Amino acid sequence: MPRLLFEKKGNAVWISHLDLMRLFQRAFKRAGLPLTHTQGFNPRPSVSIALPLSVGVESRCELLDFDLYGEKPSNEEILTRLNAALVEGVKVLAVYDEAAKIKHLALLECVVALEYDGGIPEGAVEQIEALFNRAEVTVEKKSKNGVKEENIIPMLRRLAVIPADGSTLELRALVCCQNPTLNPMQLNAAIFKYLPNLAPDFARCRRVEVFDTNETIFR
């Protein structure tokens, strides 16, 4: 199945995962690119997105698999036609056929931006670095089976704390994104729990790149 790499930013970050699937299905249709349909009682157009993206999170490394019915136009043409049929904020960056197996997708590079309206507090960088250097940092994780405490450190490969400007601190992290998965916003939750004095006024997240276990870019 061919795959496409796309970005999601601006107001499009508020579109949920399920809505985004529907949005792509319609965009393919508008672009005159008929998708094949799944078999079964309720046939659905075959598009699947590798890693569901939380509402509000920006990304430039989203992957979507699709399958076209009939003769497939060139990848450049698919890219051009799809982009002409997509909403502002969702943009296809590449279309290709040699797609890696999704099960090898393992790591995500992301940035959690912590905004301090009164400026970055004194000593914040050091304290946050120290926090994530601990052997155990537990935060609440909500799942189908209720809420449980989870140690996030084993899922955190690397983390750097970098002041982006006078009031924004960026946590640049490499985290596990499949089996198990660390939602990057849990890093913010950890700060709220362990360093309440450094709780930011607002935090937002963006995905930067995805990798396999060897830290090779995943496509």
DSSP string over 95-106: EES-PPPGGGEE
Question: Are the beta carbons of 207 and 58 closer than 8 angstroms?
Answer: yes
Interface with other proteins (CB under 8 A), residue from 117, 122, 136, 149: 117
Contact flag: residue 27 with other proteins (CB under 8 A)? yes
Report how far residue 152's alpha carbon sits from residue 159's, in angstroms, rounded to the nearest whole number. 12
Under the binding rule (CB under 8 A), the answer on residue 63 touching other proteins is no
DSSP state for residue 181 in the 8-state scheme:
B
DSSP annotation of 14 = G
Nearest CA-CA partner of 33 in 102, 92, 101:
92
Q: Is 52 in the site for other proteins (CB under 8 A)?
A: no
- Interface with other proteins, residue 11, by CB under 8 A: yes
Q: Is 9 in the site for other proteins (CB under 8 A)?
A: no
Q: Is residue 19 part of the contact set for other proteins (CB under 8 A)?
A: yes
- Interacting residue with other proteins among 3, 4, 5, 15 (CB under 8 A): 15
Q: For 25, phi and psi rounded to 5 degrees?
A: -60, -45
Q: Give the interface with other proteins as residue ranges (CB under 8 A).
A: 10-12, 14-16, 18-19, 22-23, 25-30, 34, 37, 43, 45, 55-56, 85-89, 115, 117, 167-168, 202, 204
